[in-house]
A and B are shown apart, each in its own frame.
Chain A
């Protein structure tokens, strides 16, 4: 069967599954719509959280980032997973004990103020919208590449699908589809990795394969071999290369961690489990399921890099026959050339491909002697790594089709989670909480569905007409969430004296500082030409890049909030009692007799 038919069958089957689940898990009450009725098993919730949080970026880009940045990519890997430690210990159990539907609801009640609630809604929507655009784009790209339809058509199909299961089932429908999506995406990710690890090292577990001896008889370990291959061509040593200055890297890692802990679509998942202890263990399960993909990624990255280098540099460096002739390039090379993501330019006209680091002066001098005229792989898009992996390893068509379904599952599940966070902020926090307090449950449920549909249309529109900044903003979404929501939640739980004035001032200060810093280097509202400080190292505050600034914003948030709280009156007694009750397992102080 040809690849296209196979892809249609596999992707079609997964979609039928999602729709079937959606029909089965229709939401009948607001409780089911916002938090799946609060009855999700912690392991199931962990799996759904994994799919919710692992986006197209994790599935498609992560391994590529690692392949090209080696050790330097640790900031993403550790940043995105270390946040779960914070979630499990600092937020999830307490927010579950509080036992409401949304994150702004907690902030509004804890700081006894609709103002705080509205500020939280604004922060939530800002962070979620920047994030969801990237997901919609991922859906469109995945469809157009694998099903060979137009990008727009792909996006419409994705919107229709999310529309169906998210409006029908709300959180309940989303939770159970996310579980199915997790299964699809994890198989799609690990199966090619297992085959490739077998080929290179003879060890079927990619995690172990990464530390094994090569099966080619050289007697070297895979990492030593990779270090040798890349340094010989002038690239940085794989296991030690870094991406940025030390402080920059640390702050960046911290931003991603607190962002992960502060993103509302992740936090709200911990409202769906029955008990406080389930919220704790659920965060652990989520990390287990995420770790299956995240420990495979470094292996996929390293092996793909090695495969790619060895495919091109077939023999001794500098000998005329040492490089792959362009005529003899493999089929996957041709396929990806068509997409423009892989580009070759025969600079020295010898009909062979030279791939080396021409920015390294030592290597450039050596290359000159070989008659090389610069790096001829003008473009190697890092997103190719995961998508082309099964083709590079010559795996059967059904595996390639599965990877397509996996990429779609990753993008759809995250998009649905974010859209629910946005729509519940509108229907539950703004309508029910502030503007139409007397609204009946039935009407609120309808409002929830309508705002979900609205959010999908806005996200779809932005996916069709992405503002220029879409690609680089996932990290900024994390920064915004980390600078505004995370500190407010932390202070609400751990600092009893924190009052509404402090919390509101802190959130506004945190998110403003972060946004201003991003704007001054990347343009006001990302419009080119309006940046008043260049987007370059020397202009950065202490050398910290704009994407990494969320952690600094969080520090500002904490400082401002605590100072303002000290200068204003302390919160009323019933709020201090509320904090006590959040901190105590089971019923409030009553449990102590």
Chain B
């Protein structure tokens, strides 16, 4: 059984979102880590920025990443459930093409 077009559309959206968020995750952790010395020269309230990212910033960023993922995916799942009801018009996920 090949995946239906709707399934493929759902999966592609999911992969795109995951990749974008993983990109953010990578930047916060590794790119910011690489430039930590430079970032430390910038103040963030009373913290040096590089140190702040390590102490709290990265954790808050991770939380935000998961939060965005959960919200977006839940919405997509809801649409999926609604649109896979028989007789419902398809909007977000393309229906079977002839």
Contacts and interface: CB of A to CB of B under 8 A. Distances in A.
A221 B86 contact: no
B2 to A, nearest CB: 9
Interface stretch (A75-83, A422-430, A519-527, A529-537): A75-83
A212 interface: yes
A253 B11 contact: no
Interface in A570-593: 573, 576-577, 580, 583-586, 589, 591-593
A113 interface: no
B55 A586 contact: no
Contacts of A583: 7, 10-11, 14
A291 B66 CA distance: 13
A283 B54 CA distance: 21
Interface string B64-98: 01110110011001001100101000000000100
A212 B14 CA distance: 41
A512 interface: no
Interface stretch (A191-199, A274-282, A480-488, A558-566): A274-282
A490 B37 CA distance: 34
A589 B51 contact: no
A586 B84 contact: yes
Which bracket fits the contact residues of B? 35 or more
A299 B47 CA distance: 12
A74 B56 contact: no
B29 to A, nearest CB: 5
B84 to A, nearest CB: 5
A209 B57 CA distance: 15
Given A246-B34, A253-B29, A287-B63, A211 B45 contact: yes
B80 A253 contact: no
A589 B6 CA distance: 10
A211 B51 CA distance: 10
B36 A71 contact: yes
Contacts of B21: 85, 89
A339 interface: no
Contact of A586 (B36, B54, B80): B80
Interface string A316-355: 0000000000000000000000000000000000000000
Given A81-B58, A580-B7, A593-B86, A280 B36 contact: no
A510 to B, nearest CB: 21
B69 A88 contact: yes
A193 B21 CA distance: 33
Contact of B69 (A89, A210, A591): A89
A530 B33 CA distance: 36
B72 to A, nearest CB: 10
A82 B66 contact: no
A-side interface size class: 35 or more
Looking at A281, A580, A593, the one whose CB has the most chain B CB atoms below 10 A away is A593
A295 interface: yes
A71 B3 contact: no
A299 B51 CA distance: 12
Given A89-B18, A211-B45, A288-B63, A281 B84 contact: no
A300 to B, nearest CB: 11
A231 to B, nearest CB: 14
A108 B6 CA distance: 29
B55 A589 contact: no
A213 B46 contact: yes
Given A81-B62, A592-B84, A253 B33 contact: yes
Nearest to B5: A592
A126 B26 CA distance: 29
Contacts of B96: 592
A88 B71 CA distance: 12
29 contacts: A78-B33, A78-B54, A78-B58, A78-B59, A84-B62, A85-B62, A85-B65, A85-B66, A89-B65, A207-B56, A210-B55, A211-B52, A213-B46, A221-B46, A223-B46, A240-B37, A246-B34, A250-B33, A257-B29, A276-B77, A280-B69, A284-B66, A287-B62, A298-B54, A584-B7, A584-B10, A585-B10, A592-B6, A592-B84
Given A85-B66, A287-B59, A585-B10, 17 more contacts: A74-B58, A77-B54, A77-B59, A84-B66, A85-B22, A85-B62, A221-B46, A249-B33, A253-B29, A288-B63, A291-B60, A298-B55, A577-B1, A580-B1, A584-B10, A592-B4, A592-B6
